[in-house]
């Protein structure tokens, strides 16, 4: 899922095309992580070059950076339930996001 802080301009924008993410900084997991690989395949499939401004090796640090308004991120659904449930993070409704039923990856 793509996430943002609740105050981000894209939060509460409804369904968005992937291209809506192009101009925003992206906080990504480190090279070689499964989440990073899934994110890169997703963007490559849409012929979009993400604007990665930070590489971080911890899901918790990624979430904290997003909550602090430092950028958007692509995370596994099971890592963000508490933050979304408490209004600390917002799930962006990005067209074609590769998540299947029950939060399992489709790719």
For 25, the token pair is 């900084």
pLDDT for the residue numbered 101: 42
Q: What is the pLDDT averaged over residues 85-104?
A: 77
| Mean pLDDT computed over every residue of the chain | 89
Query: What is this structure's pTM?
Result: 0.87
Strand 26-29, strand 72-74: pairing: parallel
Taken in order 19, 22, 23, 27, the sign of the CA dihedral is: positive
pLDDT for the residue numbered 100: 45
Per-residue pLDDT at 58 exceeds 90? yes
């Amino acid at each position: 899922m793509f996430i943002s802080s609740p105050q981000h301009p894209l939060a509460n924008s409804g369904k968005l095309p992937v291209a809506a993410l192009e101009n925003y900084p992206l906080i990504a997991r480190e090279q070689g992580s499964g989440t990073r690989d899934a994110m890169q395949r997703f963007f490559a499939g849409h012929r979009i070059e993400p604007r990665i401004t930070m590489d971080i090796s911890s899901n918790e640090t990624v979430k904290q950076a997003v909550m602090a308004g430092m950028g958007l991120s692509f995370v596994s659904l099971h890592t963000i339930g508490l933050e979304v449930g408490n209004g600390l993070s917002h799930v962006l409704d990005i067209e074609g996001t590769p998540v299947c039923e029950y939060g399992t990856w489709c790719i």
